[in-house]
Structure 1
Amino acid sequence: MDAPSLPTGDILRFYAFRASQSAGFSLPIYVLFFQSRGLSLAEIGAIEALFTVFVVAAETPTGYLGDRFGRRASLLAGTALSALGIVGFVFARSFAAFAAIMVVRAVAEAFRSGATDAWLYETLAGTADDDRFAHVSGRASAIGLATLAGASLVGGGLYALDPVYPWLLEGIALTTGMAVLLGMDEPDRTVEDGAGSARFSPWETLAAIRSTLANRAVGPLVLAVGLLAGITNTMEFYLQPVAVATPGLSATTLGPLYAGLTLASAGVTARAGWIEDRFGVRGWFLVGPPLLGLSLLAVAVAPAFALPVFVLGRAVRSATTPIFGQFLNDRTDEGRATVLSAASTVRSLFTAPLNLVGGGLATAYALSTGLGGLGVMLLGGLVVTLGVWRPSLPSVTARESDAA
């Protein structure tokens, strides 16, 4: 039997869209920029926490809107709000202004989070290629990471010319993404469900979330992925001070360092489909995240291994995202964007408290000891969540059973 053909045009446009969203020219300089506008590190931490809180608050409502009005509409709304936030950063001069912009950016992120995976999965399902989700999503993430690496290099140089230039170029990239979206088709959400799942009431939406996340085949893994996301996000707090303290590195090398880490992650992400085929979902979660936890413990004893562990953290996170996305999509029959956003909400709930704990460890102890503490938390959480996880075959809807 011939392998099903992928919707080449749509997928290429999806790759272009992901690249436009990943052109983070501001990434290696945003802390410096905020400080140049009068914000202290404490205030920067506060607005980062505010961002996380509002992403959590907006995830499920925006996921519902994605199910109600369509994936492309959600992606357009998120991209437009993100571009608006970029413009706001150029003119912001106070903590209140930056905080307000961060709220806008959080809502933008929530609009795009569930709708992005839902659009891809349903587009692939329209040609019976939904089992290729991890492969295509992994390649899209790799393209995004490669774009981010290049943008990091360019952004650092632009900042030396004018602090506003990285933000302006990032805004242009987002605007290009909106143009790409206009050429993307809305997927047919009746492929798997003849009744059409695009029209959900809020109560039906909550029922879809509960039926998916309460299942022991899904819920524990959502928690494990949430813990991993929180740990790897918190590790970013340590990256810059560890890099500056490393012999031969300085603040001026952060741009190339970010680019190198991103490219290493891209290489692993591009092989996400191969990793899933090689290990399986359960096998990966029993190998990848625990390896990161053990490596973090090793840093507490041998601090010289810190930078390689940052590379490993990026790689494990990048490989896990598409593998988990495939797993969750295969077990979601209704309200796909809503359920994906709910899972993203759970992941986000880990970020803020772990950021606080990680910051406290970095302040009270040596950086290597703090990283070791993160390893203890990751390994402990994995023992609990993976111990109660009971993976099962992908669910089948009643209508599909009747049709068979």
Structure 2
Amino acid sequence: MQSKRVIRLYYGFQFFFSLLLWLPVFYEFQKRIGLSDPQIFSIQSIYYVAFCLLEIPTGMLADLFGYRKCLRGGALTLVVANLLPIFAPSYSGFLAHFLLIALSRSFISGASSAYLYEYTRQSNAAGEYKQIEGNARAYGLLGKVACWSAIGVLMEWHLTLPYWLTVLSAAVSVAFAWKLPALATEASMLNRTSLQSPSIASKLRSLGTTLAHAPFLLLLMFQGIAIFVLARICQVNLFQPILGAKSFGLASYGAVMGLITLFEALGSARPGWVRRYFNDLNAVFFLTFVMALSLGLIAYAGQAGTLVWLSVFSLATGFSFPIQRQLLNDYIVDSSSRATLLSVESIIDRAVCALVAPFMGSFLGRGRLDSFLILSAVLTMVAMVLLLVILKLKPLATARESMS
């Protein structure tokens, strides 16, 4: 019973924390308050850089002081972040909004997965981690489907309503974060912190040593870049420009995002379907290829084709995230650095996004959206072929033995 209660609390936290109801319309919102494309994408670039700078410190805080404290801090920060577009609808207001979003998500990114993985491990249910993580993601996505379908209409009715609703959702996530029970390892974390907290420098040295002796883990992190960046490009940064270029109206934005999110939720809830045909490593590469190909084909599609390829892209995205997270967690041997190492992966992801964002703005400003989609697809597929060759040079079992 205790186990089921904790899992339900985790589902509730992830559901409400991830419910950013403004996501389908934030680009249009910023345009309506007078921001230009260069300003919008410069904010996105700064957001990714900030996330990179915050990831390691917040991951270390999670490892030192406990995962729950970071979950609570992230949820509280999210509440404040979503009030800024309402009361400060300007470039500086949105910049502060996204900086706080970066802080909030950096608190959560490593700590949430680490909390769940450690809880399932301590409960002798580590094999259930992937399914629980997939279910949590799927439930969150289904919630977005239900809400996003009407968000364009709600924004037309009241411009700031998507942000007010997100504030309410974030406040509920705070309540769930406070209900999550402590892990058995948190007591040792607190004792270690009070008695002999390692300096940041020593922690970084230890982290560097771990990665130096675990090249396979580092390569897996680099593989995760492709999944994260493609998903960010297609479903966040360029989602609204893509629909605009295909002549979809604002009122349909939420419905379209709801549709593709339904496919992503299906994939997240059923990662086992892919494992019938591939092992985890081959699965993430196959799914990355599907994502890249779908993104490239959107450039040639009309409205119906765009919906089809966005749906295929989202289904592949849903399958890939739980599998890739399981792979990473399985190859992290030292649980005391789990959140920090997961934060390293997030840093790499966001660093690449920070580099890509200005190019997106440049291509979009010159009316070359299709060229950017095709270029992104081709570069991803070439990079994945090279990385897969490198990984296959060292058998999976040997890689794990070297880490142990």
TM-score greater than 0.5 by the shorter chain: yes
Q: In the TM superposition, what is the alpha-carbon distance from 1:360 to its structure 2 partner? A: 3.5
Q: Are positions 1:76 and 2:72 aligned together?
A: yes
Counterpart of 1:244 in structure 2 is: 244
Counterpart of 2:279 in structure 1 is: 280
- Give distance in 1, aligned partners of 2:193 and 2:290: 39
Q: In the TM superposition, what is the alpha-carbon distance from 1:211 to its structure 2 partner? A: 4.2
Counterpart of 1:224 in structure 2 is: 223
Residue 122 to residue 344, structure 1, CA distance change in 2 (3 Å)? same
Q: In the TM superposition, what is the alpha-carbon distance from 1:160 to its structure 2 partner? A: 2.6
Worse-superposed segment, 156-165 or 238-247 = 238-247
- Give distance in 2, aligned partners of 1:51 and 1:256: 27
Cα deviation code 1:65-114 (max 9, x no counterpart):
00111101001111111100111221003322221222122111110100
* Coordinate RMSD, CA, aligned: 2.9
Q: In the TM superposition, what is the alpha-carbon distance from 1:181 to its structure 2 partner? A: 1.3
Q: Secondary structure at the match of 1:218?
A: helix
- Give distance in 2, aligned partners of 1:243 and 1:102: 23
Q: Secondary structure at the match of 1:7?
A: helix
- Give distance in 2, aligned partners of 1:270 and 1:375: 26
Counterpart of 1:308 in structure 2 is: 308
Alignment check: 8 A CA contact 1:54 1:106 kept: yes
Cα deviation code 1:278-317 (max 9, x no counterpart):
4211220332112233344445566674432222332323
Q: In the TM superposition, what is the alpha-carbon distance from 1:385 to its structure 2 partner? A: 1.7
Alignment check: 8 A CA contact 2:295 2:313 kept: no
- Give distance in 1, aligned partners of 2:165 and 2:179: 22
Q: Are positions 1:206 and 2:208 aligned together?
A: no
Q: In the TM superposition, what is the alpha-carbon distance from 1:157 to its structure 2 partner? A: 3.2
The residue type equivalent to 1:213 in the other structure is: L
- Give distance in 2, aligned partners of 1:392 and 1:196: 34
- Give distance in 2, aligned partners of 1:217 and 1:132: 24
Cα deviation code 1:366-386 (max 9, x no counterpart):
543332111111011112222
Alignment check: 8 A CA contact 2:152 2:254 kept: yes
- Long gaps (5+) in structure 1: none
Counterpart of 1:321 in structure 2 is: 321
Residue 277 to residue 118, structure 1, CA distance change in 2 (3 Å)? farther
From 372, 392, 396, the equivalent of 1:392 is 396
- Give distance in 2, aligned partners of 1:101 and 1:273: 37
From 328, 350, 359, the equivalent of 1:348 is 350
TM-score by length of 2: 0.88
Residue 361 to residue 162, structure 1, CA distance change in 2 (3 Å)? closer
Q: Secondary structure at the match of 2:327?
A: helix
From 148, 151, 159, the equivalent of 2:147 is 151
Q: In the TM superposition, what is the alpha-carbon distance from 1:340 to its structure 2 partner? A: 0.5
Residue 277 to residue 62, structure 1, CA distance change in 2 (3 Å)? farther
Q: Secondary structure at the match of 2:123?
A: coil
Cα deviation code 1:151-204 (max 9, x no counterpart):
2124333223322222112111111111111111122238999x9799654245
Worse-superposed segment, 66-75 or 348-357 = 348-357
- Give distance in 1, aligned partners of 2:159 and 2:38: 21
- 1:4-403 matches, within 5 Å, as 7-189=3-185, 200-214=198-212, 215-236=214-235, 237-246=237-246, 249-276=248-275, 278-299=277-298, 305-334=305-334, 335-364=337-366, 366-389=368-391, 390=394, 392-393=396-397
Worse-superposed segment, 32-41 or 82-91 = 32-41
The residue type equivalent to 2:208 in the other structure is: R
* Identity in percent: 24
- Give distance in 2, aligned partners of 1:79 and 1:257: 28
- Give distance in 2, aligned partners of 1:56 and 1:170: 24
- Give distance in 2, aligned partners of 1:190 and 1:170: 31
Q: Secondary structure at the match of 2:263?
A: helix
- Give distance in 2, aligned partners of 1:38 and 1:362: 17
Report which of the two has the higher share of helix.
2
Q: Secondary structure at the match of 1:163?
A: coil
- Give distance in 2, aligned partners of 1:363 and 1:36: 17
The residue type equivalent to 2:291 in the other structure is: L
Residue 156 to residue 306, structure 1, CA distance change in 2 (3 Å)? closer
The residue type equivalent to 2:396 in the other structure is: S
The residue type equivalent to 2:109 in the other structure is: S
Q: In the TM superposition, what is the alpha-carbon distance from 1:139 to its structure 2 partner? A: 0.6
- Give distance in 2, aligned partners of 1:58 and 1:349: 12
Q: In the TM superposition, what is the alpha-carbon distance from 1:221 to its structure 2 partner? A: 1.9
TM-score by length of 1: 0.88
- Long gaps (5+) in structure 2: none
